[in-house]
Chains A and B, each alone.
Chain A
């Protein structure tokens, strides 16, 4: 093993993690959650057309590979005259993907809050929107943190697929050094290690978040 190369490549790879992987993950997840909330609300809206649109959306996202979704957006859309740079393409694909998966989590979490909570909100004069924001979603958040953390951690690793549409991120940096040095095992293991450390950190954040949201629940 070439320890010197491992150390020399660590800097550029960490740089791409900080410049590429992490912001790509954070932005896509935030946008994805917004999409998910919208889709979840459409599904429980009671409006059959909105609910049907939401169901089809979730079905398409979950029923097609993420890699294919990325390729459709980056390589496919230009033939319709829509040409996007690698970064925005990746953000769009990942957001839409997270939106599809997280929508089901959020929907289930909202439905897990007892109906009496909606009624209590209404009875103190709150509108549906106010009750949703102040009464229902805070309680739904507690239930949805573990499954959403799963989605988030998957996303960190899935961003490596963006290397295939020319986004510079952690894995692409590893590929470049590996191709140059021919030290494939070393560099891919190094990349794996960095992903793992990032995910370990996220698991810690998840536990902290769960603990905080659990403070109002009997143990």
Chain B
């Protein structure tokens, strides 16, 4: 809120040739008390690409995702998001850079949140709102867009994921898979530059996972830029352009999905992949 906030403004970092990544993270660090969860993470996500973060629990992958959405405030590091012309309210979004080494104000966090939308492991739908209200709440209340237009878009998105006839239902009336698809539509309705998925299928019954993964796969094929934390390695192999294996707050190995998941170079990655794919 402070008018002198040094991070609220944006710096022009995007090249004019459109080659600059949508998201560029440098030196991200975060500790909770004495527990260091991120020890300097770099990450570049080109437009239209899908990056999968994998690794054992506690490796810091979820913290990265939450930092990108301002749900955690890192201790140091920068997050830069390219500009785009298809903003949430049809407006142009200028390039944005947030430096967490300085004090980060509410305005900078709000600007950061405007760029991405999060899909949560436990859906976190608003239980007191219908499916349609869940989806339209952000565009209407935050982006102040006209209701009729927002509702029409929301219905189209719900139709896409096969949930249009559920638009007046409350979340408790839906299965987990249906709730998560609403969660995805709620994120899409914000027209973010970046979709963030935090273990989107981990809370689902096994027979409901497929539907949700299929929706995410479609979005990837459509050209959405996505960062996802997942334990579904087979899915990551199919969908992700880059896979990043993390352990202990550092990137252990990164590369094309096929390489990292089929023929990992690092021993820790090999162990992790072997355990998740075979040993049960």
Residues of B within 8 A of A124 (CB): 117, 137-138, 142, 186, 190
Would A120 and B128 be within 8 Å (CB), given that A126-B142, A215-B170 are in contact?
no
Q: Is B216 an interface residue (CB 8 A)?
A: no
A130 and B110 form a contact (CB under 8 A): no
Residues of A within 8 A of B110 (CB): 125, 127
Residues of B within 8 A of A135 (CB): 126
B113 and A138 form a contact (CB under 8 A): no
A125 and B138 form a contact (CB under 8 A): yes
Q: Is A123 an interface residue (CB 8 A)?
A: yes
Chain A nearest CB: distance from B227 CB in Å?
14
Q: Is B143 an interface residue (CB 8 A)?
A: yes
In angstroms, Cα B142 to Cα A23, docked, is 38
Q: Is A21 an interface residue (CB 8 A)?
A: no
List which A85-140 residues lie within 8 A (CB) of chain B.
114, 116-117, 119-120, 122-127, 130, 134-135, 138-139
Q: Is A217 an interface residue (CB 8 A)?
A: yes
Would A125 and B124 be within 8 Å (CB), given that A215-B170, A217-B172, A218-B172 are in contact?
no
Would A216 and B172 be within 8 Å (CB), given that A116-B124, A123-B118, A138-B128 are in contact?
yes
A139 and B71 form a contact (CB under 8 A): no
B127 and A123 form a contact (CB under 8 A): no
Binary flags per residue of B115-145, CB closer than 8 Å to A gives 1, else 0: 0011010101111110000000110011100
B190 and A120 form a contact (CB under 8 A): no
Q: Contact partner of B142 among A116, A125, A139, CB < 8 A?
A: A125
A120 and B127 form a contact (CB under 8 A): no
Residues of A within 8 A of B88 (CB): 125
B128 and A123 form a contact (CB under 8 A): no
Residues of A within 8 A of B106 (CB): 127
B113 and A123 form a contact (CB under 8 A): yes
Residues of B within 8 A of A126 (CB): 138, 141-142
Which of B122, B127, B143, B172 gathers most chain A CB within 10 Å? B127
In angstroms, Cα B214 to Cα A39, docked, is 48
In angstroms, Cα B141 to Cα A126, docked, is 8
Q: Contact partner of B113 among A125, A130, A217, A218, CB < 8 A?
A: A125
Q: What's the tally of chain A residues with a CB closer than 8 Å to chain B?
A: 21
Q: Can you name the residue of chain A whose Cβ is closest to the Cβ of B127?
A: A216
Would A120 and B113 be within 8 Å (CB), given that A125-B142, A134-B137, A215-B170 are in contact?
no
Chain B nearest CB: distance from A140 CB in Å?
10
Q: Contact partner of A130 among B71, B125, B141, CB < 8 A?
A: B141
A216 and B124 form a contact (CB under 8 A): no
In angstroms, Cα B59 to Cα A100, docked, is 45
Chain A nearest CB: distance from B239 CB in Å?
22
Q: Can you name the residue of chain B whose Cβ is closest to the Cβ of A135?
A: B126
In angstroms, Cα B137 to Cα A215, docked, is 19
Residues of B within 8 A of A119 (CB): 71, 118, 120, 124
B143 and A125 form a contact (CB under 8 A): yes
Residues of A within 8 A of B141 (CB): 126, 130, 134
Chain A nearest CB: distance from B2 CB in Å?
15
Residues of B within 8 A of A120 (CB): 120, 124-126
Q: Is B27 an interface residue (CB 8 A)?
A: no
In the complex, given contacts A116-B124, A139-B128, what are 12 additional A-B residue pairs having Cβ atoms less than 8 angstroms apart? A116-B122, A117-B124, A122-B69, A124-B186, A125-B88, A125-B113, A125-B142, A125-B143, A130-B142, A135-B126, A215-B170, A218-B172
10 A–B contacts, CB within 8 A, in A order: A114-B124, A117-B126, A119-B71, A119-B118, A122-B113, A124-B142, A126-B138, A134-B141, A216-B127, A217-B127
